[in-house]
Amino acid sequence: MSGSKSVVVLDYGFGNVRSAERALARAGAEVEITADYDRAMAADGLLVPGVGAFAACMEGIRKVRGDWIIGRRLSGGRPVMGICVGMQVLFARGIEHGVETEGLDEWPGTVGPLRAPVVPHMGWNTVAAPEDSRQFAALDADARFYFVHSYGVGDWDLETHNASIRAPKVAWTTHGEPFVAAVENGALWATQFHPEKSGDAGAVLLANWLDTL
């Protein structure tokens, strides 16, 4: 049961922490919003939200030692989930207005401007997920999720050549051109869309994450 799972929503100044808290609580988690290192390390799951600019989010994460928290949790196989810019900062770098900022480098790749006729990409869209995805388990292929962003990752650069290492599962959405919509990589999950704003479909995805904790 997911009801006894504890989740910390990392409070670093950039993110919809209250909506994330409410959505996780509805899914059955015990939720705390904090940047406290020890509490973030001790929780069953850590959720990293993000809204705004890549560079500003990275500055906020580093100020609260979030880079250490995320890295230490993942090195011990402790679940972490990033949402929106909280997903983007997990890549190697972000480029906004010609300025390049180092990310957390959990995955190779560059976050850049969406190449689409209408930006931002704002509203509901479907996601093409791998058939064996735990993230999207019990969700129909036509399930819709809420996006609001002007930047994304158009290329997935990580290749896994070791047969003993499970390759990340990558889901895609198209707005102008395809971009990474979600990643499931062992203890590290992330979504470009906002599950906490995606109604029943988002609630199912969050429950799927809680079931892994």
User: Between helices 66-75 and 54-63, what is the axis angle to 10°?
Assistant: 80
Q: To the nearest whole number, what is the mean pLDDT of the chain?
A: 94
Q: Would you place residue 164 in the very low, low, confident or very high pLDDT band (cuts 50, 70, 90)? A: very low
pTM over 0.85: yes
Integer angstrom CA distances of residue 212 from 102, 137, 186, 207, 209: 29, 12, 10, 9, 5
User: Does the pLDDT at position 188 exceed 90?
Assistant: yes
Domains of the chain: 6-210 (3.40.50.880)
Q: Residue 58: which of 98, 119, 10 has the closest Cα?
A: 10
Q: What is the mean pLDDT of residues 172-176?
A: 98
pLDDT at residue number 15: 86
Q: What is the mean pLDDT of residues 182-187?
A: 98
3-state secondary structure 67-93: HHHHHHHHHCCCCEEEECHHHHCCEEE
Q: What is the mean pLDDT of residues 167-192?
A: 97
pLDDT at residue number 16: 84
pLDDT at residue number 2: 42
pLDDT at residue number 160: 55
CA-to-CA distance for 150 and 160, rounded, in angstroms? 29
Q: Give me the active site residues, please.
A: 84, 194, 196
Q: Which residues pair with 148 in a beta bridge?
A: 122
Residue whose tokens read 């973030």: 40
Percent share of the chain, pLDDT over 70: 95
Q: Which of 34-48, 51-65, 161-175 has the lowest mean pLDDT?
A: 161-175
CA-to-CA distance for 132 and 113, rounded, in angstroms? 30
Q: Would you place residue 27 in the very low, low, confident or very high pLDDT band (cuts 50, 70, 90)? A: very high
User: How does pLDDT run across 105-128, given as a tens digit for each residue?
Assistant: 999 999 999 999 999 999 999 999
Q: What is the mean pLDDT of residues 84-106?
A: 97
